[in-house]
Amino acid sequence: MAGFLQAGGRAVVVAIDHPLYTWPVPGLERRSELIEQVVEAGADALIASYGTVRDCRAVFGRARAILKLDVTVVSVREYRPAEWAVAYAVEDAARLGADAVLTLVELGTEGELAALASAARVAAAADRVGLPYVCEILPVASPAFPDPFAPAVIAGATRAAAELGAHVVKTAIPSPPAGIREAVDCGVPVLLAGGEPAADRKAYLAGLAEALSAGAAGVAVGRNVWGGGDPAGTVRRLASLVHTGRLR
């Protein structure tokens, strides 16, 4: 069982790994300040890079560290789609005292098989050292997945991750959000990826609420926490939603 899940198997996770591969990242210029705010506001865990887990761990406080093990090319201003490569080992995570590991699998890309094989190896290695493995698995618009947000596609992705050995799955919110029900049937906790910054914050939170009601275990949000104003307030709203089911 993943230790960062709270009683009830639910979690609010904040992703702060973006500067590993893109810049600028408004809101994340100074890591420690943001980390302190979101932890204080109730984040259960943070997804962070090797450098951040090593150098900023002291300010994580009671929040758990989920170490991202893969890297990609650096984008400045315009995002460059590219493959990801697993570069850190589960042993590196254990040495840093991280609480879990994460890799990304994009379905429908040229590197899909390599990413799936890496995920399988990480899952087995994580069991070997006793760390939970979070598989972030995202269908990408492609000939294989013309509608990457269809509930059956999200469910197929989630189930594949569960079969590979993920202890927790992070995936996209399907359309409609209640379609996550098909994915959660596999019994592995599913975290909802935050995705693109939402123009309509209210509709965004309503979608999360719908997916959480349908069985999602929590959220793993980045830009929608620190990309706008008031990250602490956003985390508090997410925590209320995830842990009590109420929108504040």
Write out the residues near its own copies by the rule CB under 8 A: 17, 19-24, 29-32, 49-52, 54-55, 71-77, 80, 82-83, 85, 87-89, 92, 95, 107, 112-114, 116-117, 120-121, 123-124, 127-128, 139, 144-145, 150, 152-153, 155-157, 159-160, 162-166, 182, 185-188
Min dist CB 171 to its own copies, Å, is: 12
Q: Answer whether 93's CB lies under 8 Å from 131's CB.
A: yes
Say how far apart CA 179 and CA 49 lie, in whole Å.
Answer: 31
Question: Minimum distance between the CB of residue 247 and its own copies, rounded to whole angstroms?
Answer: 30
Contact 115, 103 (CB under 8 A): yes
Give the residue with the Cβ less far from its own copies, 72 or 240: 72
In the complex, least distance from residue 143 CB atom to its own copies, rounded to whole angstroms: 9
User: For its own copies, which is the closer residue by CB, 47 or 205?
Assistant: 47
Give the tokens for residue 130. Answer: 């006793």
Minimum distance between the CB of residue 39 and its own copies, rounded to whole angstroms?
18
Q: Which is nearer to its own copies, 45 or 135 (CB)?
A: 135
Q: Is 76 helix (H, G, I), strand (E, B) or coil?
A: strand
User: In degrees rounded to 5, what are phi and psi of residue 235?
Assistant: -65, -40
User: Which two three-digit tokens encode residue 141?
Assistant: 């618009």
Cis amide prior to 176 (ω within 30 degrees) = yes
Residue among 104 and 188 whose Cβ is closer to its own copies: 188
- 46/35 Cα distance (integer angstroms): 8
